[in-house]
Amino acid sequence: MCLALAVSASASADTIVLKNGRRIVAENVIDDGARVTYQTPAGQLTIPKSIVERIEHDDFVYSPASSASSQPLVSAPKVEPVRGYEDVVTRAVHDDAVDYSYIAQLETEARSGTTIAVAKVAAAHHAAAQFLVSKGDTDAAIQQYRQALVFAPQNVGLLLNLAVLYLRESQFTGALDPLDRARRAAPDSADVAKLTGWAYYGANKIDQAIAEWQRAERLRPDPEVEQALEKAERDKSEEESYREGETIHFDLKYYGGAAPDLARGILRVLEDDFRDLESQLDYTPPEKIAVILYTEQAFADITRAPGWVGALNDGRLLIPVQGLTTVTPELAHVLKHELTHSFVGQKSHNRAPTWLQEGVAQWMEGRRSAADAGALINAAGQGMAPPLGAMGGSWMGLSGNSAAFAYAWSLAVVESIIDAGGVSDISRLLDRIATESSVEDALRETLHLSYDDLNQQTVAYLKRIYLR
């Protein structure tokens, strides 16, 4: 199925080069001085200009994850409303123009209601409509059929031709009205079923499209309808897996080649994670959380580009799943980590400092400081423990080594808090940060610690637990 957010295949792409070296290929890149906004298959994203090194304008074509085909699946049947009125046809359209006065004269005669007079009006309007279609004036052609139907409301040929014009204009709901009337006049018409299937398919009502095309096949087998039916059934199974992309807490979208099985697996894991975080952090996000599975780009917490996920998140989980078909242990870690960011962000009214965000997210995903403890203790011993007050904002300016150190230190800090007072201390701290004017005030109010105290507590914790 075409997704509403799929981007146009014809636009050229730009490359946003970040200061940390990452390159993002995107469409419609807009630089307003403070922020850079761009289009991806997941929609519009915004990043701070401060993390952007430069924007390169390329000429190659950005290929979208999915694209819509504008070709209808079935063709329009040729149906003459009436036969045997060639003289009327040649008089209604001549010298490359519609003879409206002749048609008006026929209408006057048809008001008497004789069958022949009505048939002549139908033939004349049909001829005029077909001529107008050949001139590209579909709206005027539609008017011709509507006028003819005033005199011959049951004429299936007029109704079908009118429906075809609506269908070609993608006015699928508009097409259903003449098709309903045609069905009442001709209940066993395969053409009515074929076109009604087209209308429903176009309106994205796949179940009804399938029912109509099945009916058309029963009435009159048609290879074209058979193919359309197969396509619709494929779409339906795709759409079913897409619909399963909604659960009580999540709204999942996936693009490109992400497998339906993978999407379902991810949702199962996320629902489990949600319940766990809900009880650990004593918080329930009020709205469904949007999850977007990417197959095109890799994101922050896989590459460890600091701050990047927060900048992209917008409350949505952007999960790279390139090449995956099942939820691997690594992916499970990423899911828990990203979902934790959503909880921490919302519970703290998006005021949690980065060290707390990343520390809690790593702790929840199951990371512990064992492997890093020695290096962290050494660094602290040389007076290099990072000042937490300076680690609240974006980590984008940090080099790779500094970023790795910032992640590791943040995890150790969070471990020490949980060691001292349990996860409930994290929960209380987040609640206080949501309302307190500064993070350090919130820290003092809840844990009775300054930033320096917290760093000292962290070193003591690392030594006690990991140094034997």
Looking at beta carbons, which residue is closest to Zn ion? 361
Nearer to Zn ion, 358 or 415 (CB): 358
Structure tokens at 49: 């200009």
How far apart CA 263 and CA 240 sit, in angstroms, is 12
What's the rounded Cα separation, in Å, for the pair 251 and 14?
29
Stated as kind and residue range, the H or E segment containing 292 is strand 289-294
Q: Which stretch binds Zn ion (CB under 5 A): 240-248, 264-272, 298-306, 311-319?
A: 298-306
DSSP 3-state assignment of 46? Answer: strand
Residue 361 within binding range of Zn ion, rule CB under 5 A: yes
3-state secondary structure of 47: strand
Report the DSSP pairing between strands 97-98 and 93-94: antiparallel
User: Shortest gap between Cβ of 269 and Zn ion (angstroms)?
Assistant: 17
Beta-strand pair 250-254/43-48:
unpaired
Burial class (CB in 10 A: 0-12, 13-18, 19+), 284: middle
Q: Which pairs count as long-range contacts for 371-375, CB under 8 Å and 24+ apart, including other chains?
A: 372/408, 372/411, 372/412, 373/412, 373/462, 373/465, 373/466, 373/467, 374/466, 374/467, 375/408
Q: Which is nearer to Zn ion, 193 or 312 (CB)?
A: 312
Q: Which is nearer to Zn ion, 41 or 306 (CB)?
A: 306
Least separation, in Å, of the C-beta of 301 and Zn ion? Answer: 5
The binding track of 246-285 with respect to Zn ion, each residue x by CB under 5 A or -, is: ----------------------------------------
Total residues in contact with Zn ion, by rule CB under 5 A: 3
* Smallest distance from Zn ion to CB 347, Å: 16
State the minimum distance, in angstroms, from the CB of residue 361 to Zn ion. Answer: 5
- Could you give the C-alpha distances from 185 to 143, 179, 270, in angstroms and in order? 21, 10, 53
Task: Give the residue with the Cβ less far from Zn ion, 273 or 358.
Answer: 358
CA distance 426 to 203: 49
- Cβ proximity to Zn ion, 352 vs 433, nearer residue: 352
| Cβ-based neighbour number of residue 63 at 10 Å | 11
Mask: binding to Zn ion, 200-239, rule CB under 5 A, as x and -? ----------------------------------------
Task: Describe the crossing of helices 115-134 and 100-110 by its angle, rounded to 10 degrees.
Answer: 150
- Which stretch, 41-49, 140-148, 178-186, 359-367, contacts Zn ion (CB under 5 A)? 359-367
Greatest Cα pair distance, the chain, in angstroms, is 108
Partners of 61 in beta bridges: 12
454 binds Zn ion (CB under 5 A): no
Structure tokens belonging to residue 144: 């011709």
CB of 407 to Zn ion, least distance (A): 8
408 sits near Zn ion (criterion: CB under 5 A): no
Q: Mark the segment that binds Zn ion (CB under 5 A) among 163-171, 300-308, 326-334, 384-392.
A: 300-308
Supply the angle between the helices 423-435 and 354-365 in degrees, to the nearest 10: 150
Measured from the CB atom, is 167 or 318 closer to Zn ion?
Answer: 318
Reduced to 3 states (helix: H, G, I; strand: E, B; else coil), residue 383 is coil
Shortest Å, Cβ 307 to Zn ion: 9
Q: Write the interaction track for Zn ion spanning residues 317-356; mark x where CB under 5 A is met and - where it is not.
A: ----------------------------------------
Nearer to Zn ion, 363 or 461 (CB): 363
- Give the x/- contact pattern for Zn ion in 115-154, rule: CB under 5 A: ----------------------------------------
Whats the size of the chain, residue-wise?
Answer: 468
Give the residue with the Cβ less far from Zn ion, 182 or 364.
364
- Give min distance, CB of 326 to Zn ion, in A: 23
In the complex, which residues of this chain contact Zn ion (CB under 5 A)? 301, 358, 361
